[in-house]
Amino acid sequence: MGKLIYLDNAATTKTSPTVLEAMLPYFSENYGNASSIYSIGAKSKEAISQGRAAIAKVLGAAENEIYFTAGGSESDNWALKATAEAYANKGKHIITSKIEHHAILHTCEYLEKQRGYEVSYIDVDENGVIKLDELKKAIRPDTILISVMFANNEIGTIQPIKEIGEIAHEHGILFHTDAVQAFGQVPINVDELHIDMLSSSAHKINGPKGIGFLYIRKGVKIRSFIHGGAQERKRRAGTENVPGIVGYGKAAEEAAATMQERTAKEAQLRDYLIDRILKEIPYTRLNGDRTRRLPNNANFSFQFIEGESLLIMLDMEGICGSSGSACTSGSLDPSHVLLAIGLPHEIAHGSLRLTLGADTTKEDLDFTIEKIKGIVERLRGMSPLYEDFIKKSGKN
Protein backbone atom coordinates (compact mmCIF):
# COMPACT_ATOMS: atom_id res chain seq x y z
CA MET A 1 0.00 0.00 0.00
CA GLY A 2 1.27 3.46 -0.88
CA LYS A 3 0.31 6.79 0.63
CA LEU A 4 -2.60 6.90 3.04
CA ILE A 5 -5.32 9.25 1.80
CA TYR A 6 -7.44 10.22 4.79
CA LEU A 7 -10.85 11.55 3.78
CA ASP A 8 -12.81 10.96 6.97
CA ASN A 9 -12.13 14.17 8.87
CA ALA A 10 -15.76 14.37 10.00
CA ALA A 11 -15.09 11.24 12.08
CA THR A 12 -11.90 12.58 13.63
CA THR A 13 -8.86 14.61 12.69
CA LYS A 14 -5.14 14.26 13.20
CA THR A 15 -3.88 16.16 16.24
CA SER A 16 -1.73 18.98 14.92
CA PRO A 17 1.97 19.04 15.93
CA THR A 18 1.64 22.47 17.55
CA VAL A 19 -1.35 21.31 19.60
CA LEU A 20 0.58 18.25 20.76
CA GLU A 21 3.58 20.41 21.63
CA ALA A 22 1.42 22.72 23.72
CA MET A 23 -0.07 19.76 25.60
CA LEU A 24 3.10 17.82 26.43
CA PRO A 25 4.34 19.88 29.42
CA TYR A 26 1.03 19.29 31.20
CA PHE A 27 1.61 15.53 31.21
CA SER A 28 5.10 15.48 32.70
CA GLU A 29 6.22 18.90 33.99
CA ASN A 30 3.22 21.05 34.92
CA TYR A 31 1.19 18.07 36.05
CA GLY A 32 -0.37 19.62 39.14
CA ASN A 33 -4.04 19.35 40.01
CA ALA A 34 -5.69 22.68 39.22
CA SER A 35 -7.58 22.55 42.53
CA SER A 36 -4.34 22.53 44.55
CA ILE A 37 -2.90 25.70 46.05
CA TYR A 38 0.81 25.08 45.35
CA SER A 39 2.59 26.51 42.32
CA ILE A 40 2.34 23.64 39.82
CA GLY A 41 -1.37 23.42 40.61
CA ALA A 42 -1.64 27.13 39.96
CA LYS A 43 0.07 26.65 36.58
CA SER A 44 -2.58 24.11 35.64
CA LYS A 45 -5.34 26.45 36.78
CA GLU A 46 -3.88 29.25 34.67
CA ALA A 47 -3.62 26.94 31.66
CA ILE A 48 -7.29 26.06 32.01
CA SER A 49 -8.19 29.75 32.12
CA GLN A 50 -6.18 30.41 28.96
CA GLY A 51 -7.83 27.51 27.13
CA ARG A 52 -11.26 28.71 28.20
CA ALA A 53 -10.49 32.25 27.04
CA ALA A 54 -9.29 31.04 23.63
CA ILE A 55 -12.50 29.09 23.01
CA ALA A 56 -14.74 31.87 24.30
CA LYS A 57 -13.10 34.32 21.91
CA VAL A 58 -13.93 32.14 18.89
CA LEU A 59 -17.62 32.12 19.89
CA GLY A 60 -17.91 35.73 21.00
CA ALA A 61 -18.81 34.38 24.44
CA ALA A 62 -17.75 35.22 27.98
CA GLU A 63 -15.11 32.96 29.53
CA ASN A 64 -17.42 31.96 32.37
CA GLU A 65 -19.93 30.62 29.82
CA ILE A 66 -17.59 27.82 28.68
CA TYR A 67 -17.79 24.51 30.58
CA PHE A 68 -15.38 21.71 29.73
CA THR A 69 -16.67 18.17 29.19
CA ALA A 70 -15.32 14.87 27.86
CA GLY A 71 -16.68 15.54 24.35
CA GLY A 72 -19.67 16.31 22.18
CA SER A 73 -21.85 13.43 23.35
CA GLU A 74 -21.53 14.43 26.99
CA SER A 75 -22.24 18.05 26.12
CA ASP A 76 -25.38 17.07 24.21
CA ASN A 77 -26.57 14.84 27.06
CA TRP A 78 -25.94 17.59 29.58
CA ALA A 79 -27.79 20.23 27.56
CA LEU A 80 -30.90 18.10 27.11
CA LYS A 81 -31.14 16.21 30.41
CA ALA A 82 -30.25 19.10 32.69
CA THR A 83 -32.54 21.50 30.84
CA ALA A 84 -35.37 19.00 31.06
CA GLU A 85 -34.83 18.69 34.80
CA ALA A 86 -34.41 22.40 35.49
CA TYR A 87 -37.41 23.58 33.45
CA ALA A 88 -39.81 20.70 34.14
CA ASN A 89 -42.11 23.04 36.07
CA LYS A 90 -42.62 25.06 32.86
CA GLY A 91 -43.28 22.08 30.60
CA LYS A 92 -42.13 18.72 29.31
CA HIS A 93 -42.00 19.29 25.57
CA ILE A 94 -38.81 19.40 23.46
CA ILE A 95 -38.37 20.03 19.73
CA THR A 96 -35.54 18.63 17.62
CA SER A 97 -35.02 17.43 14.03
CA LYS A 98 -35.06 14.00 12.44
CA ILE A 99 -31.43 14.24 11.32
CA GLU A 100 -29.71 14.95 14.62
CA HIS A 101 -26.68 13.02 15.84
CA HIS A 102 -27.58 9.99 17.93
CA ALA A 103 -26.23 11.77 21.02
CA ILE A 104 -29.33 13.97 20.70
CA LEU A 105 -31.81 11.43 19.33
CA HIS A 106 -31.03 8.74 21.90
CA THR A 107 -31.12 11.28 24.73
CA CYS A 108 -34.53 12.43 23.52
CA GLU A 109 -35.65 8.81 23.41
CA TYR A 110 -34.48 8.38 27.01
CA LEU A 111 -36.39 11.48 28.12
CA GLU A 112 -39.52 10.21 26.40
CA LYS A 113 -39.41 6.66 27.74
CA GLN A 114 -37.93 7.22 31.18
CA ARG A 115 -38.93 10.74 32.15
CA GLY A 116 -42.29 11.28 30.46
CA TYR A 117 -41.27 14.08 28.11
CA GLU A 118 -42.81 14.63 24.70
CA VAL A 119 -40.48 15.26 21.76
CA SER A 120 -41.44 16.64 18.35
CA TYR A 121 -39.12 15.53 15.53
CA ILE A 122 -39.21 18.08 12.72
CA ASP A 123 -38.89 17.04 9.07
CA VAL A 124 -36.20 18.32 6.72
CA ASP A 125 -36.41 18.94 2.98
CA GLU A 126 -34.62 16.92 0.30
CA ASN A 127 -31.39 18.81 1.04
CA GLY A 128 -31.55 18.26 4.78
CA VAL A 129 -32.67 21.77 5.73
CA ILE A 130 -35.13 21.90 8.62
CA LYS A 131 -38.64 23.03 7.72
CA LEU A 132 -39.09 26.27 9.66
CA ASP A 133 -42.87 26.39 9.16
CA GLU A 134 -43.17 22.95 10.72
CA LEU A 135 -40.89 24.05 13.55
CA LYS A 136 -43.11 27.03 14.29
CA LYS A 137 -46.24 24.88 14.25
CA ALA A 138 -44.68 22.41 16.69
CA ILE A 139 -44.18 25.07 19.39
CA ARG A 140 -46.52 24.71 22.38
CA PRO A 141 -46.98 26.60 25.64
CA ASP A 142 -45.07 23.81 27.41
CA THR A 143 -42.11 23.75 24.98
CA ILE A 144 -38.92 24.29 26.99
CA LEU A 145 -36.14 23.56 24.49
CA ILE A 146 -35.36 23.51 20.77
CA SER A 147 -32.24 21.55 19.84
CA VAL A 148 -31.12 21.62 16.19
CA MET A 149 -27.61 20.80 15.01
CA PHE A 150 -25.58 23.56 13.37
CA ALA A 151 -24.39 21.39 10.49
CA ASN A 152 -25.13 17.75 9.78
CA ASN A 153 -22.31 15.30 10.37
CA GLU A 154 -23.27 13.07 7.44
CA ILE A 155 -24.45 15.27 4.57
CA GLY A 156 -22.85 18.55 5.66
CA THR A 157 -25.97 20.70 5.36
CA ILE A 158 -25.79 23.90 7.42
CA GLN A 159 -29.04 24.82 9.14
CA PRO A 160 -30.60 28.33 9.32
CA ILE A 161 -29.37 28.70 12.88
CA LYS A 162 -30.04 32.42 13.25
CA GLU A 163 -33.66 32.01 12.17
CA ILE A 164 -34.15 29.05 14.52
CA GLY A 165 -32.65 31.05 17.39
CA GLU A 166 -34.95 33.97 16.67
CA ILE A 167 -37.99 31.70 16.62
CA ALA A 168 -36.99 30.14 19.93
CA HIS A 169 -36.40 33.46 21.65
CA GLU A 170 -39.61 35.00 20.31
CA HIS A 171 -41.44 32.26 22.21
CA GLY A 172 -39.27 32.31 25.33
CA ILE A 173 -37.75 28.90 24.55
CA LEU A 174 -34.13 27.89 25.10
CA PHE A 175 -32.12 27.05 21.97
CA HIS A 176 -29.32 24.47 21.93
CA THR A 177 -27.22 23.54 18.92
CA ASP A 178 -24.85 20.62 18.42
CA ALA A 179 -21.98 22.41 16.67
CA VAL A 180 -19.51 19.51 16.79
CA GLN A 181 -19.03 19.62 13.00
CA ALA A 182 -19.32 23.39 12.63
CA PHE A 183 -17.08 24.84 15.34
CA GLY A 184 -13.83 25.93 13.68
CA GLN A 185 -15.25 25.32 10.21
CA VAL A 186 -17.72 28.21 9.94
CA PRO A 187 -17.91 31.53 11.82
CA ILE A 188 -20.08 31.33 14.95
CA ASN A 189 -21.14 34.20 17.20
CA VAL A 190 -23.50 33.02 19.91
CA ASP A 191 -25.09 36.43 20.47
CA GLU A 192 -25.75 37.14 16.79
CA LEU A 193 -27.23 33.66 16.31
CA HIS A 194 -29.33 33.71 19.52
CA ILE A 195 -27.74 30.50 20.83
CA ASP A 196 -28.27 29.61 24.49
CA MET A 197 -26.24 26.40 24.56
CA LEU A 198 -23.69 24.93 22.15
CA SER A 199 -21.82 21.61 22.10
CA SER A 200 -18.39 21.00 20.60
CA SER A 201 -15.53 18.49 20.59
CA ALA A 202 -11.82 19.10 20.11
CA HIS A 203 -10.94 16.12 17.94
CA LYS A 204 -12.93 17.51 15.01
CA ILE A 205 -10.54 20.47 14.64
CA ASN A 206 -7.10 18.83 15.00
CA GLY A 207 -7.31 18.81 18.78
CA PRO A 208 -7.12 15.82 21.15
CA LYS A 209 -9.85 13.28 21.78
CA GLY A 210 -11.68 13.14 25.10
CA ILE A 211 -12.24 16.87 25.58
CA GLY A 212 -15.20 19.05 24.62
CA PHE A 213 -17.21 21.92 25.97
CA LEU A 214 -20.74 23.09 26.50
CA TYR A 215 -21.39 26.81 26.08
CA ILE A 216 -24.13 27.86 28.49
CA ARG A 217 -25.36 31.44 28.20
CA LYS A 218 -25.30 33.36 31.47
CA GLY A 219 -28.73 33.18 33.07
CA VAL A 220 -29.65 29.76 31.67
CA LYS A 221 -30.50 27.78 34.76
CA ILE A 222 -29.52 24.24 33.87
CA ARG A 223 -28.16 22.05 36.62
CA SER A 224 -25.00 20.06 37.23
CA PHE A 225 -24.53 16.95 35.13
CA ILE A 226 -21.77 15.29 37.16
CA HIS A 227 -21.87 15.73 40.93
CA GLY A 228 -18.84 15.73 43.20
CA GLY A 229 -16.27 18.48 43.53
CA ALA A 230 -16.54 22.17 42.75
CA GLN A 231 -14.82 22.10 39.35
CA GLU A 232 -16.28 24.09 36.43
CA ARG A 233 -17.97 26.47 38.83
CA LYS A 234 -19.76 23.57 40.57
CA ARG A 235 -21.53 22.50 37.37
CA ARG A 236 -19.29 19.65 36.18
CA ALA A 237 -17.37 17.79 38.88
CA GLY A 238 -14.14 15.90 38.27
CA THR A 239 -10.44 16.67 38.04
CA GLU A 240 -9.90 18.74 34.92
CA ASN A 241 -8.25 17.26 31.84
CA VAL A 242 -5.58 19.96 31.76
CA PRO A 243 -3.58 18.67 28.74
CA GLY A 244 -6.84 18.25 26.81
CA ILE A 245 -8.04 21.74 27.68
CA VAL A 246 -4.69 23.22 26.68
CA GLY A 247 -4.86 21.30 23.41
CA TYR A 248 -8.41 22.40 22.73
CA GLY A 249 -7.54 26.03 23.36
CA LYS A 250 -4.60 25.83 20.97
CA ALA A 251 -6.66 23.99 18.34
CA ALA A 252 -9.42 26.61 18.60
CA GLU A 253 -6.88 29.43 18.15
CA GLU A 254 -5.40 27.75 15.10
CA ALA A 255 -8.80 26.96 13.59
CA ALA A 256 -9.92 30.57 13.96
CA ALA A 257 -6.67 31.98 12.57
CA THR A 258 -6.70 29.74 9.49
CA MET A 259 -10.45 29.48 8.94
CA GLN A 260 -10.89 31.83 6.01
CA GLU A 261 -7.99 30.57 3.91
CA ARG A 262 -8.32 26.91 4.94
CA THR A 263 -12.04 26.58 4.34
CA ALA A 264 -11.83 28.42 1.00
CA LYS A 265 -9.30 25.84 -0.15
CA GLU A 266 -11.39 22.96 1.19
CA ALA A 267 -14.53 24.27 -0.50
CA GLN A 268 -12.73 24.60 -3.82
CA LEU A 269 -11.44 21.03 -3.61
CA ARG A 270 -14.82 19.80 -2.38
CA ASP A 271 -16.55 21.30 -5.41
CA TYR A 272 -13.93 19.79 -7.71
CA LEU A 273 -14.58 16.39 -6.16
CA ILE A 274 -18.36 16.77 -6.41
CA ASP A 275 -18.29 17.96 -10.01
CA ARG A 276 -16.08 15.11 -11.20
CA ILE A 277 -17.96 12.38 -9.35
CA LEU A 278 -21.37 13.54 -10.60
CA LYS A 279 -20.10 14.02 -14.15
CA GLU A 280 -18.06 10.84 -14.49
CA ILE A 281 -20.09 8.24 -12.58
CA PRO A 282 -23.67 7.76 -13.81
CA TYR A 283 -26.61 7.04 -11.49
CA THR A 284 -24.98 9.03 -8.69
CA ARG A 285 -26.48 11.77 -6.53
CA LEU A 286 -25.08 14.32 -4.12
CA ASN A 287 -26.67 14.24 -0.68
CA GLY A 288 -27.13 17.54 1.12
CA ASP A 289 -27.44 21.11 -0.03
CA ARG A 290 -25.16 21.92 -2.97
CA THR A 291 -23.90 25.22 -1.57
CA ARG A 292 -25.21 25.52 1.99
CA ARG A 293 -22.88 22.83 3.28
CA LEU A 294 -19.70 22.44 5.30
CA PRO A 295 -16.64 23.38 3.23
CA ASN A 296 -15.05 19.95 3.54
CA ASN A 297 -18.06 17.64 3.15
CA ALA A 298 -19.11 15.59 0.11
CA ASN A 299 -21.69 12.81 0.46
CA PHE A 300 -22.76 10.66 -2.49
CA SER A 301 -25.17 7.81 -3.13
CA PHE A 302 -24.26 5.35 -5.88
CA GLN A 303 -27.16 3.28 -7.16
CA PHE A 304 -26.88 -0.50 -7.41
CA ILE A 305 -23.99 -0.94 -4.94
CA GLU A 306 -23.47 -1.43 -1.21
CA GLY A 307 -21.56 1.33 0.57
CA GLU A 308 -19.83 -1.14 2.87
CA SER A 309 -18.24 -2.97 -0.08
CA LEU A 310 -17.11 0.34 -1.53
CA LEU A 311 -15.48 1.34 1.77
CA ILE A 312 -13.62 -1.96 2.10
CA MET A 313 -12.27 -1.75 -1.43
CA LEU A 314 -11.25 1.88 -0.97
CA ASP A 315 -9.43 0.89 2.21
CA MET A 316 -7.49 -1.69 0.23
CA GLU A 317 -6.30 1.21 -1.94
CA GLY A 318 -5.24 3.24 1.11
CA ILE A 319 -8.25 5.56 1.06
CA CYS A 320 -10.25 6.24 4.24
CA GLY A 321 -13.89 7.25 3.84
CA SER A 322 -17.17 6.62 5.59
CA SER A 323 -20.73 5.62 4.88
CA GLY A 324 -22.03 8.16 7.39
CA SER A 325 -21.60 8.74 11.09
CA ALA A 326 -18.60 7.04 12.68
CA CYS A 327 -20.79 6.32 15.71
CA THR A 328 -23.04 4.00 13.68
CA SER A 329 -20.55 2.52 11.23
CA GLY A 330 -21.16 -0.96 12.64
CA SER A 331 -24.88 -0.81 11.89
CA LEU A 332 -26.45 -2.59 8.93
CA ASP A 333 -29.37 -0.17 8.89
CA PRO A 334 -29.30 2.65 6.34
CA SER A 335 -28.53 6.14 7.58
CA HIS A 336 -31.45 7.80 9.34
CA VAL A 337 -30.29 11.07 7.79
CA LEU A 338 -30.51 9.76 4.23
CA LEU A 339 -33.92 8.23 4.92
CA ALA A 340 -35.09 11.57 6.35
CA ILE A 341 -34.19 13.42 3.13
CA GLY A 342 -36.28 10.95 1.17
CA LEU A 343 -33.86 8.35 -0.15
CA PRO A 344 -35.22 4.79 -0.48
CA HIS A 345 -33.39 2.09 1.46
CA GLU A 346 -31.66 0.60 -1.57
CA ILE A 347 -30.08 3.94 -2.54
CA ALA A 348 -29.29 4.99 1.02
CA HIS A 349 -27.27 1.79 1.43
CA GLY A 350 -24.92 2.88 -1.36
CA SER A 351 -23.65 6.03 0.30
CA LEU A 352 -20.13 7.39 0.69
CA ARG A 353 -19.05 10.35 2.80
CA LEU A 354 -15.71 11.97 2.01
CA THR A 355 -14.56 14.79 4.30
CA LEU A 356 -11.44 16.75 3.46
CA GLY A 357 -8.77 18.16 5.74
CA ALA A 358 -6.20 20.92 5.59
CA ASP A 359 -3.65 18.49 4.12
CA THR A 360 -5.89 17.15 1.34
CA THR A 361 -4.53 17.83 -2.16
CA LYS A 362 -6.01 17.82 -5.66
CA GLU A 363 -3.74 14.86 -6.43
CA ASP A 364 -5.30 12.96 -3.51
CA LEU A 365 -8.74 13.60 -4.95
CA ASP A 366 -7.75 12.66 -8.49
CA PHE A 367 -6.42 9.33 -7.25
CA THR A 368 -9.53 8.78 -5.13
CA ILE A 369 -11.93 9.61 -7.95
CA GLU A 370 -10.26 7.16 -10.32
CA LYS A 371 -10.38 4.43 -7.71
CA ILE A 372 -14.05 5.12 -6.95
CA LYS A 373 -14.90 4.96 -10.65
CA GLY A 374 -13.23 1.58 -11.02
CA ILE A 375 -14.72 0.14 -7.84
CA VAL A 376 -18.26 1.32 -8.62
CA GLU A 377 -18.01 -0.15 -12.10
CA ARG A 378 -16.74 -3.44 -10.67
CA LEU A 379 -19.47 -3.64 -8.01
CA ARG A 380 -22.19 -2.80 -10.49
CA GLY A 381 -20.85 -5.48 -12.78
CA MET A 382 -21.65 -8.01 -10.05
CA SER A 383 -25.12 -6.57 -9.32
CA PRO A 384 -28.19 -8.39 -10.73
CA LEU A 385 -30.21 -5.22 -10.06
CA TYR A 386 -27.88 -3.16 -12.23
CA GLU A 387 -27.96 -5.80 -14.98
CA ASP A 388 -31.76 -5.81 -14.98
CA PHE A 389 -31.84 -2.01 -15.00
CA ILE A 390 -29.52 -1.82 -18.00
CA LYS A 391 -31.57 -4.41 -19.91
CA LYS A 392 -34.84 -2.61 -19.21
CA SER A 393 -33.42 0.75 -20.14
CA GLY A 394 -32.13 -0.62 -23.45
CA LYS A 395 -28.57 0.55 -22.81
CA ASN A 396 -26.93 -2.83 -23.30
| Rounded-to-integer distance, Cα 245 and Cα 241, Å | 6
| Rounded-to-integer distance, Cα 63 and Cα 65, Å | 5
| Rounded-to-integer distance, Cα 156 and Cα 171, Å | 28
| Rounded-to-integer distance, Cα 255 and Cα 58, Å | 9
Angle at 231 between CA 228 and CA 232, to 5 degrees: 125
Whole-angstrom distance between the N-terminal and C-terminal Cα of the chain? 36
Please classify residue 163 by burial: count the beta carbons closer than 10 Å to its beta carbon, then call 0-12 exposed, 13-18 middle and 19+ buried: middle
Would you say 335 and 102 are in contact if contact means Cβ atoms under 8 Å apart? no
320 is a catalytic site residue:
no
Which entry of 327, 339, 369, 390 is annotated as an active-site residue? 327
Which is it for strands 143-147 and 351-355: parallel, antiparallel or unpaired?
unpaired
For 125, list phi and psi in degrees, rounded to 5.
Answer: -85, -175
Q: Which residues are catalytically annotated?
A: 327
